[in-house]
Amino acid sequence: MFHIAKTAIKNRIKLLSILAFGLVLTVYSQEIQYETKQNIPYYNTAINRADEYRNERCVLDIYYPKDAKDFPTIVWFHGGGLTGGNKDIPGQLMEKGVCIVAVNYRLYPKVKAPLYIDDAAAAVSWVFNNINGLGGDPSLIFVSGHSAGGYLASMIGLDKSWLNKHGIDANSIAGLIPFSGHAITHFTIREERGIPGFQPVVDSLAPLYHVRPDAPPLLLITGDRDLELLGRYEENAYLMRMMKIAGHKETKLYELDGYGHGMTEPAFPLLLKEVQRIIEKKNTDK
């Protein structure tokens, strides 16, 4: 566990912001111009025409460094308990030399599990198949998100079956960085089954069920255990421990003291630092 004292977070954010900005200087020497493309369908036209709600919801936005080459990409899934929320490009990740792909997915009660997980996998596969055309490096695709979005990131990264449907190996993901995501079966999925939110379940729709030693690097970030949603820190701590016991070499957990479930502000610099770390490791290993 990596336990950050509240008083140290502000200084750490300043330092990490500098490091994140250094990513821009490291990857590109010229001034970067950014472009945004909105509401791009990630299912094909025939599939979308068959379902009006899917056609409406299953779109993504792309914010990317225009005319740059081999940039890293962060796929970002919004939170909202799998029942609400909309795609949003986090301002804290903008102008940092990275591409951000913000994804909408279908929501309960209009759909039930596992359709929103299907959507998450379809969106990530779209990025793998298309990012090169915008100048991005397909070997530097990172998957992240907050709360329900963190759950989706963990599910499609740890359970290889979701991306396998699209011909993508989940191990091709450069890094998984869920923010305060469920490690057990999501409470909305339990609600769909009539199970109370305080009754934990670990089954095939839980990231914990898919612990494996060969998964992509995994950085787990939560708020303060005493301020988080019920058990959210403890779930992630157990996932970290089981990944390590399984033999996974790159699982870390950061707990942000003084922050509750809405802990994204101090977590974004940690996300960017992890992207930088993995890029540097890749370059060192060449």
pLDDT at position 4 over 50:
no
Residue 117 belongs to domain spanning:
2-24+33-285
Q: Quote the number of domains for the chain.
A: 1
Looking up residue 50, the CATH number of its domain turns out to be 3.40.50.1820
Instruction: Indicate the pLDDT class of residue 30, thresholds 50, 70 and 90.
Output: low
Nearest to 149 by CA among 99, 91, 188, 111: 188
User: Angle at the Cα of 168 (from 164 to 171), degrees rounded to 5?
Assistant: 95
pTM across the whole model: 0.90
Percent share of the chain, pLDDT over 90? 88
What is the tens place of the pLDDT at every residue in 140-191?
999 999 999 999 999 999 999 999 999 999 999 999 999 999 999 999 999 9
For residue 114, cis peptide bond before it (omega within 30 degrees of 0): yes
- Angle at which helix 264-285 crosses helix 6-27, to 10 degrees, equals 40
Instruction: Assign residue 105 a region (left: φ > 0; alpha: ψ between -120 and 50; beta: otherwise).
Output: beta
What is the tens place of the pLDDT at every residue in 99-143?
999 999 999 999 999 999 999 999 999 999 999 999 999 999 999
Instruction: Tell me the Cα Rg of the chain.
Output: 18
What is the tens place of the pLDDT at every residue in 215-254?
999 999 999 999 999 999 999 999 999 999 999 999 999 9
Nearest to 70 by CA among 3, 143, 161, 137: 137
Partner residues linked to 59 by β-bridges: 41
Task: Quote the pLDDT of residue 205.
Answer: 98
Higher pLDDT, 63 or 20: 63
Which residues, other chains included, contact 286 with Cβ-Cβ below 8 Å and sequence gap of 6+? Answer: none
Task: Quote the pLDDT of residue 122.
Answer: 98
Lowest mean pLDDT among 13-27, 39-53, 101-115, 268-282: 13-27
- Angle at which helix 148-158 crosses helix 115-130, to 10 degrees, equals 70
pLDDT at position 256 over 90:
yes
DSSP per-residue string spanning the chain: -EEE-HHHHHHHHHHHHHHHHHHHHHH-SSPPEEEEEEEEESS-HHHHHT-HHHHHH-EEEEEEEET--SEEEEEEE--STTTS------GGGTTSS-EEEEE----TTTS-TTHHHHHHHHHHHHHHHHGGGGTEEEEEEEEEEETHHHHHHHHHHH-THHHHTTT--GGG-SEEEEES--SSS-HHHHHHTT--TTS---STTSGGGG--TTSPPEEEEEE-TTTSSTTHHHHHHHHHHHHHHHT-S-EEEEEETT--S--HHHHHHHHHHHHHHHHHHHHHH-
Which residue is listed with tokens 């699982």?
Answer: 251
Do β-strands 2-4 and 251-256 pair in parallel, antiparallel, or remain unpaired? parallel
Nearest to 232 by CA among 270, 278, 266, 186: 186
**What are 7's two structure tokens?**
């008083």
